[in-house]
Amino acid sequence: MKSNIKTAIGTTFLAGAILLSMVSNASALAPKGCSNATLRGDYGSTLTGTVNNLPFAALNLVNGDGNGNITGEGTIVYNGTVIPSSFTATYTINADCSGSFSSSSGTTENIVISRDGSEVQIIVTGLALGPATVTGLAKSLGSTKAMTQ
């Protein structure tokens, strides 16, 4: 009888330890939310589409400070004309990893950032040049943005 009680107690402790381990692992694997700190470091971005029904493309080097501010510079090609550009912007990243962007030039965008901050999907929602259908992608250039997360 004592042997059965020892076995039952041992099995209970083992089951409890396994359950505790599973709960700990599940919380470690749970997706982390996003914040302004998720967008930190250097990114290369491309945008393509049309503005005023004319072809538009842009290639930019962008830096996010993790606090809601961006600086950038690059090249725009609008209907075949090459235009150097530089800008500052502010952004807000929501816990669900969606966000918005507003630049000094009047451009507004909606964005979605990956939880690890490595990639940002972009759609332009307003452009000073006129009506636009422009989308893009920004990819991290490998800086250490995760240090403040």
pLDDT value, residue 135: 98
Alpha helices (H) in 82-146, listed in sequence order: none
Helix, strand, coil share (%) of the chain residues, nearest 5: 25, 50, 25
- State whether 17 and 81 are in the same domain: no
- Please check whether residues 108 and 72 belong to one and the same domain: yes
pTM exceeds 0.85 for this model: no
pLDDT at 105: 85
Kindly state the average pLDDT of the residues 95-119: 96
User: Where are the extended beta strands (E) located within 18-126?
Assistant: 40-51, 54-65, 69-78, 81-93, 98-103, 108-113, 119-126
Res 23 pLDDT > 80: no
CA dist 62 and 99 (Å) reads 16
Domain range for residue 20? 1-30
pLDDT band at 142 (very low <50, low <70, confident <90, very high): confident
**What are the CA-CA distances from residue 75 to residues 32, 62, 116 (Å)?**
34, 12, 27
Q: Is residue 148 part of a domain?
A: no
- Confidence check: pLDDT of 19 > 70: no
Find out whether 101 and 89 touch, Cβ atoms under 8 Å: yes
Classify the C-alpha dihedral 45-97-133-64 as positive or negative.
negative
C-alpha distances in angstroms, 115 versus 14, 41, 60?
A: 35, 14, 22
The answer to whether residue 149 is domain-embedded is no
**Do the beta carbons of residue 113 and residue 119 sit within 8 Å?**
yes
What's the pLDDT tens digit per position in 64-93? Answer: 999 999 999 999 999 999 999 999 999 999
Quote the mean pLDDT of the chain: 83
Looking at the structure, tell me whether residues 5 and 43 fall in a common domain: no
Q: Are 60 and 121 members of one domain?
A: yes
Give the residue among 61, 69, 68, 76 at the shortest CA–CA distance from 134. Answer: 76
Residues 3 and 65 in one domain: no
Task: Assess whether pLDDT exceeds 60 at residue 109.
Answer: yes
Classify burial at 78, counting beta carbons within 10 Å of its beta carbon; exposed 0-12, middle 13-18, buried 19 or more. Answer: middle
**Per-residue pLDDT at 9:** 45
